[in-house]
A and B are shown apart, each in its own frame.
Chain A
Amino acid sequence: MPAVQETVDRVKAIGVSEYKYGFFSDIESEKAPKGLNEDTVRFISAKKDEPAWLTEWRLGAYRRWLTMREPRWARVDFPKIDYQDLYYYSAPKTAAGPKSLDEVDPELLKVYAKLGIPLREQEALAGIGPDRRIAVDAVFDSVSVVTTFREELARAGVIFCPVSEAVHSHPDLVQKYLGSVVPTTDNFYATLNSAVFSDGSFVYVPPGVRCPMELSTYFRINEQNTGQFERTLIIADKGSYVSYLEGCTAPKRDENQLHAAVVELIALDDAEIKYSTVQNWYPGDADGRGGIYNFVTKRGDCRGANSKISWTQVETGSAITWKYPSCILRGDNSRGEFYSIAISNGRQQVDSGTKMIHLGKNTTSRVISKGISAGRSQNTYRGQISAHRKATGARNFTNCDSLLIGNSCGAHTVPYIESKTPSAQFEHEATTSKISEDQLFYCMQRGISGEEATALIVNGFVRDVLQQLPMEFAVEAQKLIAISLEGSVG
C-alpha cells in the first residue's frame, strides 16, 4: 500500500525526507590522526589539558582494551569494525572554549537552529515560556560547543558543564565518581570509551536541591569517519532531584559510524534522577547502507537509601542499537525504573533492554518495554532482573510487549530472572502479537486510513512509556514514531 497523502504531508511538514536530520554541515574541524594507539590517547588528553591522573586512567583503559574482544552475544550482525580506520577526536576549529554564544561559529549555530535546538537563552525563553525552560549542552562531534543557562543553574548550586571542563573546575568530584559505576574494565565498548572519551555532560546537584529546570544534552555527529565517544556523569546528592534529557542526530552517510558512549548516574540518599533519551541517530537507508552503530553503556547506581533512578528511552534511530540502561539498587528502599520504546524499521537491528540488580532491602523495580519491528528489522529485548540473598523484600514487575508489522521482521525477548531470596517477588510477562485486524477494521470503518489507524494503534501500544517523557519530548517522540513506521504498512 503506498503511503497515504496525510502521512506524506506529515513527513514533508517535518523535513525533506524521512530522516530530517540527515544534512551535513561543512564546518572546518581539527582531528586527531587516524587510528588508535597510546599517542592518540595522549593527544586527546593533551587537547583537554587534563591532569596526569586522568591521562593515566585513560592509558590504563586503553591497555586493558587491547586485551579485550568485542562482545558477540547480542543478536546483532555487522561487519568487523576496523578500529584503526577511525578518527577518535574531531572538534570544530573555532569551538575552543568560546566565552559567550557570540564567539561561537555562526555555521555551528545554524546547525543547531536547523535541528531546532534553542541555544540562545532569550530564544529559549521566548519560545517555550518561563515554566518549560531547558538548559542545553550541545556536543558537536568530540566537543561541547555551548552550555546554556549555566549562571542561573549555578545560583541554585547546580553544576552543569562539559565533563572536560569539570575535570578542571571540580576535579575532586570527577575523580571521586568517574568510573565508579561503569569501571574502565566493564566491557569492550565502555573500556574503549574510557580511553578516548572526548566530551559529554557533567551534572552535580547539591543536597536538597531540586534542579530548577530540565537539563539536556544534544549530541550531533557531523564529521566523516569519526566515532563519538561521549561520557556523561550525573551525581544527585542527598535529597536532590534532576531530570535530564538526551537527544542525538547524525548526517546521512553510506558508511557506518560508531557511537560508544558511557553514562554514569549516581543517586545518593533520597535523591532522584530521571534520565530520558530520544535517540534518533541516522538509521541507514532501506537497504541497510550506512547508519550509526550505537554501542552504549548506561548504568545508574542507587547508592543511597530511598533513592530512585528512572530511565526512559525512545529508540528510533541507529543501524544497530546495543544498549542496556541499568540500575544497581544498592540502597535500601531504592527504586529503579525502565521505560522503553524501541522501534526498528528497514534493516535496523536493536538489542536493548535493562538490568535491575537488587542488592538492598525492599528495593523495587519496574520495567516496561515496548518493541515494534517493521520492515526487515530485528528487535530484541534482553533484560536481567536479579535479587541478591540480602535483597529481602525485593519486588520487580516486568512487562515487555512486542508488535510485529509485516512478515519479514523479527521480535525477540530474552529475559534473565534470577532470584536468591524467597522474599523477593518477581513477575515477568511478555507478549508478541501483530496489530489486531479487528482494531484496524474498526478504525478504518470510521474513515481513518490504514496508515493512520496503524499509527493510532501503535501510539496506544506505547502510551505507557510516552507518559513518562517530559512533555516536549513526548510530542517529538510521537512524531518520530509515526515517521519511523512510514511505509511499513502494506
Chain B
Amino acid sequence: MNADIIPARTPAEISLARTFDAFKAGLPGNMDVTKWREASFKAFKVSGLPHRRIEAWHYTDLRALMRDALPLASFPGAATIDALRAEFAAARVPRQRIVLVDGFFVPELSDGLPEGLKVRSLASALTEGRPDLIALLSSHDLAARDPIVSLNAALMQDGVVIEVAPSTVIAEPINLVHATASPTPAAHFSRSALILGAGASLRLAESRHIANRAQPVGAGQANACLIVSLGDGAKLAHTAMATGTAPAGVRLESVMVRIGARAKFDSFALVAGIGLVRRQMFVRFEGAESEALLSGVSLLGGREHADTTLLVEHVAPGCVSRETFKYILDEEATGVFQGKIHVAPGAQKTDGKMLCKAMLLSDMAAMNNKPELEIFADDVACGHGATCGGLDIDQLFYLQTRGLPFAQAEALLLEAFAGELVDGIGHEGLIKAYRREVSAWLSARHGPTAAPSRGLIA
C-alpha cells in the first residue's frame, strides 16, 4: 500500500547502474550536463525501475516486465550508413527527412530539408551547452520525477534538435525516421527537441525503418524523449508510428510539450507489434486560448502490452484539449490507458474532453483504464468517458446476413472502429500509410486464408 518500499535491485537495475558508471565519462555534454546526468541517475536509482506500487505505473510494472537491460547501442559505422542509404532509395523513404540510426543523428542520411529549419545533433547541443536550450531539453517541470525520463537524461546518447524559425510555414511533412540497424539487440537512449518559433507551422511525421542487416531483431530496448515547444500562434501536426515486429522489444517514449498562446498541437500515434510500449505524453498549456488534440490507436496481439499515459495540464485559461484513444486487444494482450486532465487554479474556461474506447477480441485480453480529472478552477467544462467491451454481435450478424464471411465482417467493423481516428490525421498521404498499417494488422490476424478464428456465429 505504501509507495516508499524500496525493493531489492533487479538484474536490469544493476545492469543499468553498471552501464551508467562505465559510459558516463564518454557521454556527450559540458560540465552542467554531466551534473544533470549525475542528478538524474541518482533520482532514478532512488526509485528504481517503476513498479505497480508507483501510482503512475500501476498497470505497467516495468520491474517485472523488463527482465534485463541490454548493452548500449553504438554509433553506426560507414558500412551501415551506406547500406541504409541504398535501402532508403529502394524503399522510397520520402525526402525531406531527418534520420536517427539506433538513436544517433546521421546527417548523411538526412535529406532535402527546407529553409527555415535548423537541425543539429543533440550531442553537439549538449556539448555547446546553451543554457536556454539545456533548460528546454531538461524540461524538469513537465515530467517531474518520472523515473524513465530521469533514466533517459542520465544515459541519452544522441538525438536531434530541430529549430523552426518564427513564421516559417512548411506544408509537406518533415519525416523523422528512426532506423534500427544494430545487428545485436541493443538499448538506445535518445532525446530530441522540436522548437517552433512564433507563428511557425510544421508537420512532423515519425516513422520506423528496420535495416536488413538488423534482422532478426525483436528485442531492442528504446527509451526516447521528444521535447516540443510551440511559440505563440505556432502549429504542429505530429504523427508517430510506433510499430514493428518485436515481440520482446521494449519502447519507452516520453513526449513533453509546452504550448504557447493561440497555438495548436495535434498528435496521433499508432502502436502495434512491439512487445512492451509505454507512451507517455506530458502536455502543458502555458499560453491562453490554445488547442491540443491528442489521439491514438493501439492494435495489440500476442502477449503485447501497450500503455498510453497522458498528463494534460491546463495552466493558462481558455484552452481546449481533446484526447481520444482506441485499443483493439487480441489474444493475451494488455492495454493500459491512463489520462489525467489537470486544471490549475485560474485556468478558467478550460474545455477538456477525454475518451478511451477498448475492444477486447479474446478471452485472455485485458484492458485497464484510468481516466482522471483534477480540477481546481470552477468555470470549466471537463469530462471523460471510457468504455470497454467486445464486438457487437448484432453488427456482425448484420454483415454476415449480407454475405460477408465472419473474418471479413469482423475486420470491417474493426477497421471502422480504428479508422475514425486515422482519418483525423489531416494529410492524405499519411492517412493512406496509416490505413495500410491498420489493414495489414487486421488481415494478419486471421492469416492469409482469412478463416474464422472462433465460431461466434461462423
A405 B373 Cβ-Cβ under 8 A: no
Bound form: Cα–Cα A176–B240 in Å: 58
**How many Å lie between the Cα of A244 and that of B361 in the bound state?**
42
Q: Is the CB of A402 within 8 A of B375?
A: yes
B interface residues, how many (CB within 8 angstroms): 41
Q: Tell whether A133 is near chain B: CB-to-CB under 8 Å.
A: no
CA distance A431 to B368 in the complex (A): 20
Closest CB of chain B to A69's CB: distance in Å? 5
CA distance A410 to B380 in the complex (A): 12
Contact between B376 and A422, CB atoms less than 8 A apart: no
Please pick, from A407, A414, A426, A430, the residue contacting B389 in the complex, using a CB distance under 8 A.
Answer: A426
| Contact status A428-B385, CB under 8 Å | yes
Q: Which residues of B contact A78 (CB under 8 A)?
A: none
Q: From B59, which residue of chain A is reached at the shortest CB distance?
A: A418
Kindly supply a per-residue 1/0 record for chain B positions 393-408, scoring 1 wherever the CB is within 8 Å of any chain A CB and 0 otherwise. 0000000000000000
Cα A412 to Cα B390 in complex, Å, equals 29
Question: Is there a chain A Cβ closer than 8 Å to B299's Cβ?
Answer: no
Residues of B near A389 (CB, < 8 A) are 363-364
User: Which residues on the A side are within 8 Å of B359 (C-beta)?
Assistant: 422
B368 touches A417 (CB 8 A): yes
> Is there contact, CB below 8 Å, between B371 and A431?
no
Answer yes or no: B345 CB below 8 A from chain A CBs: yes
Closest B residue, CB atoms, query A417: B369
Closest to A416 in B: B370
> Contacts A411-B375, A416-B368, A419-B360: A431 and B389 contacting too (C-beta < 8 A)?
no
- Answer whether A414 and B363 are a contact pair too, CB < 8 Å, given A72-B2, A433-B381, A434-B378: no
Given A187-B1, A407-B345, answer yes or no on A419-B388 (Cβ-Cβ < 8 Å): yes
Residue in contact with A411 in the complex, picked from B368, B373, B381, B391, CB distance below 8 Å? B373
Q: Answer yes or no: B319 CB below 8 A from chain A CBs.
A: no
Residues of the B chain whose Cβ atoms lie less than 8 Å from the Cβ of A430: 371, 373, 383-385
Contact status A412-B373, CB under 8 Å: yes
Q: Does B431 contact A (CB under 8 A)?
A: no
| B366 pairs with A410, CB closer than 8 A | no
When C-beta atoms are compared, the residue in chain B nearest to A410 turns out to be B376
Determine the residue in chain B with the shortest Cβ distance to A390.
Answer: B363
Docked Cα-Cα span, A356 to B380, in Å, equals 29
Contact of A428 among B364, B374, B377, B387 (CB under 8 A): B387
The CA-CA distance from A71 to B386 in the complex, in Å, is 27
A413 touches B372 (CB 8 A): yes
In the complex, chain B residues whose CB is within 8 Å of the CB of A431:
381-383
A412-B386 in contact (CB<8A):
no
B102 shortest CB reach to chain A, Å: 36
Cα separation A408 to B381 with both chains bound (whole Å): 16
Q: Which residues of A401-459 have CB atoms within 8 Å of chain B's CB atoms?
A: 402, 404-434
Q: Let me know if B320 is at the binding interface, CB within 8 A.
A: no
B155 interface residue, CB < 8 Å from A?
no
Which residues of chain A are within 8 angstroms of B367 by Cβ–Cβ distance? Answer: 417-419
Q: Say yes or no for A53: interface residue by CB 8 A criterion.
A: no
B141 at interface, CB cutoff 8 A? no
User: What are 23 A-B interface contacts by the 8 Å CB criterion?
Assistant: A73-B1, A73-B55, A187-B1, A389-B363, A402-B375, A407-B346, A408-B345, A410-B374, A410-B376, A413-B384, A416-B368, A417-B388, A423-B389, A425-B390, A426-B389, A427-B385, A427-B386, A427-B387, A428-B387, A429-B385, A429-B386, A432-B380, A433-B382
Identify the A interface with B (CB < 8 A): 69, 71-73, 187-188, 389, 402, 404-434
| B interface, CB within 8 angstroms of A | 1-3, 55, 345-346, 348, 358-391
